[in-house]
Amino acid sequence: MGTYSKPKLLAGSSEGYIGHIDGRPKDARLNHPKGITVDDSGNIYIADTLNMAIRKISDEGVTTIAGGGKRGQVGGHVDGPSEDAKFSNDFDVVYVRTSCSLLVVDRGNNAIREIQLNQHDCMTITTTTNSDEYEFDNSFPLGIAALVCAGFFGYMLALLKRRVKDMFSSSD
């Protein structure tokens, strides 16, 4: 157990106070933070579910980037500017590098929504322009293509296994 560091508070109240306050991390208040994701710049995005808001922890402090609205506001499904957006109280966030955005899995509204982030929070990888060397510009979701190929390969292996099994079992 000695190999792990002691946990430290990143944002919110160590006394368990709840609320919706932006600002310095130790002064910020959250209300049932449920899910997190991290962008390429190290910013942390939080699904602050009972505040029905998406919060960002950065070097500047804690800010609300969407939802939350005014005290006593009820949830709902409203797209639009961040201060007008509404979410249910059951959602999560996922960072998507290829589109420099957050996907909001809003289970309470049965919806998946997208929030575009500032470009300085996202990193584009482009290497050399020399045609002899490898280039990657993340314009194609390579991970999705690899997943589809792996699924197809697994399907083909299962078919082959079934054919071989049928050949040997029918000769008995």
pLDDT tens for residues 61-86?
999 998 886 655 667 777 777 677 88
Find the helix or strand (DSSP H, E) in which 84 lies.
none
> Which of 9-13, 30-34, 60-64 shows the lowest mean pLDDT across its residues?
9-13
pLDDT at position 68 is 82
Pairwise pLDDT comparison (4 vs 116), residue with the higher score: 116
In order of 44, 116, 120, 123, 134, the CA distances from 96 in angstroms are 13, 10, 14, 11, 23
Cα 14 to chain center, whole Å?
25
Does this model's pTM top 0.85? My answer is: no
Instruction: For residue 90, report the phi and psi dihedrals to the nearest 5 degrees.
Output: -140, 85
Cα 36 to chain center, whole Å?
7
Measured CA to CA, the distance from residue 132 to residue 76 in angstroms comes to 53
